[in-house]
A and B are shown apart, each in its own frame.
Chain A
């Protein structure tokens, strides 16, 4: 069993010590970061600090040194984003900080994504993601998409203000196993339920597992509208998508 002192990067050690509270998350992250090489820890640390320039440089350098793109993504970028997700969930950081981390992740993914798509790695599942009709907010959806892509999902971004017909057309066109809907406003939340009703009417509801999220959305609301799952944040969106992918892809 690894110890905190087994982690080479001091910043990562401090992050785990200072911000993680749940014993299972502490243990998992100590195991994770103790296992990964110091260069990947440096990438994770730069990402957690939101330093996109550093992530860009370190990712490029790692690739030049022959480190596998998948390792950089998993052990550097996603491992760092895991800490970011926990801090966000615990309200230790807020959206501006998460956006800076997302920008840093993107700086790394700019190098990684083309390599992975050329290598023909099979995605975990295909996910359709859209903000519902009448709602033009997309920060939460975009964070989820970034985390999903980083976790090996293929994501089709339907954008904002997505009508019921656009969701239906996308299900028919892309043959995705999972559909994610987002709403930021209490005034547009009901459009999630309307969309699900429209999918039933169009006889495509059973073609997808539906996950929903957004600041005002709750588990109760998700259950009432007949969604298959609810994700409170980007981190739980990924866990939920993995679970739903296991049930049906």
Chain B
């Protein structure tokens, strides 16, 4: 856990993020969004609009870099969406336009049963995977060791939604838990392969979104189906892992904290103080500035208040709760690092 003394000498953004992920002392709390901070304004600034920025490595790297160069965050995240692997697995895609996120047409599932699951031999050679790997290399070359580069590899539960359809997958989990576990075992290969490839390309850490959210399934579901798998990822993917699950998750944070993941990216539906109390010093929390009401619809002073609330609660990495709405104003995003610096200034010492 971070300590107040002795003072920590000034760190680079990368050092700051990695130290916080290791729960070591930092010079100040890092600002980080392990999902995405891409916005329409940033797309214009970087001349890297969606949908191209999700499929072209140079555009992807340019847009990702704005997180550091324009917003002053301590990390960059080139994978803006959650669909790259699903595209490579053969899902029907909707790449959308500049002002909308690409999505998987989950009403047109590609798999119905365990034996349908196939991770193609050329999975990593698919253009939508190569795009991410090339973007990571470009970012490392461009930004060097100044800033933390975080990659993203989807967990098997989310891949299940995409490839089986949300409704059939959830019904299968109830009707045949054993088969569901077997499906997750097969799909996890995609998670590991893409994660390791991104490490080879140069990421410092990886986000693992796996949407076993409290809006859909219980905490006991997380324990039954995913806790051990997530712990296994910690052993097989050798960089700090940041689990991301949206929605209310306090009923599963205790289990999440036991997986060995470096961090958990948590949603604003969970109070920072309550969440910190549950996880204690077992895992770093990242979050949890509200997206739709605060970052999207309110003003910098409201953002500042939420940043302060998280800092007061001891949240070790501050950032938006999830991928932000694309129409979010830049001034609300730049307020996050500004508020973090001001808070530390008011405290009069390093954290």
Q: Decide: A186 and B174 in contact? CB cutoff 8 A.
A: no
Q: Decide: A224 and B297 in contact? CB cutoff 8 A.
A: yes
- On chain B, the residues within 8 Å of A134 by CB distance are 96, 100-101, 103
Take A96-B173, A99-B174 as given contacts and tell me if A186 and B216 are in contact as well, using a CB distance cutoff of 8 Å: no
Tell me the bound Cα distance from A97 to B174 in angstroms: 7
- On chain A, the residues within 8 Å of B100 by CB distance are 133-134, 188
Count: A-B pairs, CB below 8 Å: 90
A30-38, A72-80, A135-143 - interface stretch:
A135-143
Q: Is B201 in the interface zone, CB < 8 Å from A? A: no
Partner of B101, one of A95, A187, A221: A187
Q: What are the interface flags for B145-179 relative to A under an 8 Å C-beta threshold, 1 for contact and 0 otherwise?
A: 00000000000000000000011001101110000
CB distance from B316 to the nearest CB of A (A): 23
Q: What are the interface flags for B211-248 relative to A under an 8 Å C-beta threshold, 1 for contact and 0 otherwise?
A: 00111111001000000000000000000000000110
Q: Is A220 in the interface zone, CB < 8 Å from B? A: yes
- Which chain B residue has the least Cβ–Cβ distance from A159? B107
- For the complex, count residues of B whose C-beta is within 8 A of A: 37
Take A95-B216, A160-B107 as given contacts and tell me if A187 and B326 are in contact as well, using a CB distance cutoff of 8 Å: yes
- Which chain B residue has the least Cβ–Cβ distance from A97? B174
- Which chain A residue has the least Cβ–Cβ distance from B221? A94
Q: Decide: B104 and A190 in contact? CB cutoff 8 A.
A: no
- On chain B, the residues within 8 Å of A224 by CB distance are 297
Q: Is B325 in the interface zone, CB < 8 Å from A? A: yes
CB distance from A19 to the nearest CB of B (A): 14
Q: Decide: B325 and A100 in contact? CB cutoff 8 A.
A: no
CB distance from A102 to the nearest CB of B (A): 9
Q: Is A216 in the interface zone, CB < 8 Å from B? A: yes
Q: Is B118 in the interface zone, CB < 8 Å from A? A: no
- On chain B, the residues within 8 Å of A200 by CB distance are none
Q: Is B7 in the interface zone, CB < 8 Å from A? A: no
CB distance from B165 to the nearest CB of A (A): 10
Tell me the bound Cα distance from A25 to B203 in angstroms: 54
Interface size class for chain A? 20 to 34
A interface secondary structure, majority: loop
Q: Is A215 in the interface zone, CB < 8 Å from B? A: yes
Q: Is A13 in the interface zone, CB < 8 Å from B? A: no
Tell me the bound Cα distance from A133 to B327 in angstroms: 14
- On chain B, the residues within 8 Å of A221 by CB distance are 292-293, 297
Tell me the bound Cα distance from A94 to B225 in angstroms: 15
Partner of B325, one of A50, A95, A187: A187
Q: Is B111 in the interface zone, CB < 8 Å from A? A: no
- On chain B, the residues within 8 Å of A215 by CB distance are 213, 215, 247
- Chain A residues 105 to 152 lying within 8 A of chain B, measured CB to CB, are 133-139, 142
Q: Is B105 in the interface zone, CB < 8 Å from A? A: yes
Take A95-B217, A221-B293 as given contacts and tell me if A100 and B174 are in contact as well, using a CB distance cutoff of 8 Å: yes
A-to-B contact residues, CB < 8 Å:
50, 91, 94-97, 99-100, 103, 133-139, 142, 160-161, 185-190, 215-216, 218, 220-221, 224
Jot down 23 A-B pairs with beta carbons below 8 A, ordered by A.
A94-B214, A94-B221, A96-B174, A99-B174, A100-B175, A103-B171, A134-B101, A136-B94, A136-B106, A137-B166, A161-B103, A186-B246, A186-B291, A186-B321, A186-B323, A187-B324, A187-B326, A188-B101, A189-B325, A215-B215, A218-B293, A221-B292, A221-B293
B-to-A contact residues, CB < 8 Å:
94, 96, 100-101, 103-107, 166-167, 170-171, 173-175, 213-218, 221, 246-247, 291-293, 296-297, 321-327
